[in-house]
Structure 1
Amino acid sequence: MEQYLPQFESALSIDCVIFGFDAGELKVLLIERNAEPFKDWYALPGFLVKQDEGVDEAAERILYELTGLRDLHMEQFHTFGDVDRHPQGRVITVAYYALIRINGQKELRPVTDYAKAAFWHPVNDLPKLGFDHSRIFSTGFNKLRRRLSYQPIAFELLPEKFTLTQLQQLYEAILNKKLDKRNFRKKMLSYGFLKELDEKQKNVSYRAAKLYKFDRRKYTKIFQNELNLDK
């Protein structure tokens, strides 16, 4: 039987779902595209992988070129390979996601003409995105929600020092539901990995609240079970 190698014509791309939390809102990093297809549309930061680079290397390069951010810890979470997901041909994309503290990050500024701008957008009011990026975002958001039940990811989004109100606002934003204030605080404090500080909020027009820090050492030592806020 004659043996042959099939002709592969697929391209490989990277798309990044970067979450941040600011002013009580969960946000995702978007760009305004400056090239066809979907010129002038909002989209996730993404582009094609070069022939001479690995996917992790490409993810770092692409995020930097389209947003100006670098040195983020990103993880792969899904591969999207529908045949018709790109209007110009077969493109398979590897999706990455990351959680960052918006405060302290440098100004978003694309270093390539491929994007007009990069900006943070609230996740509860997303516009229609180019390509299948709405689906990619939803898949990443669902992963974020699942991880919230068994890993202390909230503390990767909050400032190093935070109030219990800020912590609850973040959980409510990710879970998309209101939580009972008394029960939430009681449960969070009972876990033992929140360190109460001898400090309060500064420069606020209302009564200053106590500040807390996440004690990762205690979390690693004490906490092994899922966080279940529904009970």
Structure 2
Amino acid sequence: MPHYQNQNPVLVAVDCIIFGYDGESLKLLLIKRAIEPIKDQWSLMGGFIGKNEDLDGAAQRILLELTGLHDVYLEQFHAYGSPDRDPVERTISIAYLALIDINKYSRQINDQYHAEWFKVKEVPQLIFDHDTMVSAAMDKIRHQAALNPILFELLPEKFTIPQLQNLYEQVYDLPIDNRNFVRKINASGMLIKHSEKDKSGSRRGAFYYSLDKAKHNAQFKSFLSLISNS
């Protein structure tokens, strides 16, 4: 079998930046590195590409091993190939971001990886260039959230308006005027209002809503104005 001559082998890995939202805080799922160097330091979940895997397949496998999840929002967004990014061997990493609902899947997380959720603003220092990856992933989410309703991937099937507003405020790190938000979200026609309420936060409670999947693509542009004008 022919081989490329005079070429040094390079390892290829996948790193998954896994975001979740519990109704109160936007969070990042981290693990402790199991091997030297810098063993037991906080890290993104990653692994090397298998011999018979493609990139997306490797990312899906890694996400499944850590969370028990499949068929969730998973997007490849950047490649990292600095020669000295990994002190062990020359390794190129393909970064993916994933968006999941913490409350729906928290019981399925695989404990063997010592995984832990951290609030995005309280993430500890990470190994190698993983801090750079997280920052780039947040930029990617903000960009994508301005084009399509990907943030709904972080919400349960039924959610409240305060939960939705809080999520947008945390992603964009800015306050949103409540009255404008409620008025514009209702005018968008994207949401279905339910009769039941969440009364965990107050006696009065807040109505539950769900995304109208038949309308959200057509109505999303009008919904976007609530961010820029609030």
TM-score, scaled relative to structure 2: 0.89
Equivalent residue, structure 1, for 2:164: 167
Pair 1:217-2:218 in alignment:
no
Q: 1:151 aligns with which of 148, 153, 168?
A: 148
- Superposition deviation, residue 70 in structure 1: 3.2
Equivalent residue, structure 2, for 1:69: 68
Report SS of the residue matched to 1:183.
Answer: helix
Give the stretch that moved more between structures: 52-61 or 90-99.
Answer: 52-61
Q: Which has the higher helix share?
A: 2
Q: Is the 8 A contact 2:193 2:207 kept in 1?
A: yes
Q: In structure 1, what is the Cα distance between the partners aligned to 2:81 and 2:46? A: 15
Equivalent residue, structure 2, for 1:195: 192
1:25-55 CA distance string (max 9 Å, x none): 0011111122112211111101111233222
- Superposition deviation, residue 205 in structure 1: 4.8
1:53-81 CA distance string (max 9 Å, x none): 2222222222333x242314322111111
The residue type paired with residue 196 of structure 2 is E
The residue type paired with residue 80 of structure 2 is F
- Superposition deviation, residue 15 in structure 1: 0.1
Gaps of 5+ in 2: none
- Please provide the CA RMSD for this pair: 1.9
- Superposition deviation, residue 110 in structure 1: 4.4
Q: Percent identity?
A: 41
1:121-132 correspondence runs (5 A): 121-132=118-129
Pair 1:59-2:71 in alignment:
no
Report SS of the residue matched to 2:185.
Answer: helix
The residue type paired with residue 212 of structure 2 is D
Report SS of the residue matched to 1:27.
Answer: strand
Pair 1:107-2:105 in alignment:
no
The residue type paired with residue 171 of structure 1 is Y
Gaps of 5+ in 1: none
TM-score, scaled relative to structure 1: 0.89
- Superposition deviation, residue 100 in structure 1: 1.0
Show structure 1 runs of 4+ deviating over 4 A.
202-205
Report SS of the residue matched to 1:12.
Answer: strand
Instruction: Number of aligned residue pairs: give it.
Output: 223
Q: In structure 2, what is the Cα distance between the partners aligned to 1:222 and 1:183? A: 17
- Superposition deviation, residue 224 in structure 1: 4.5
- Superposition deviation, residue 142 in structure 1: 0.7
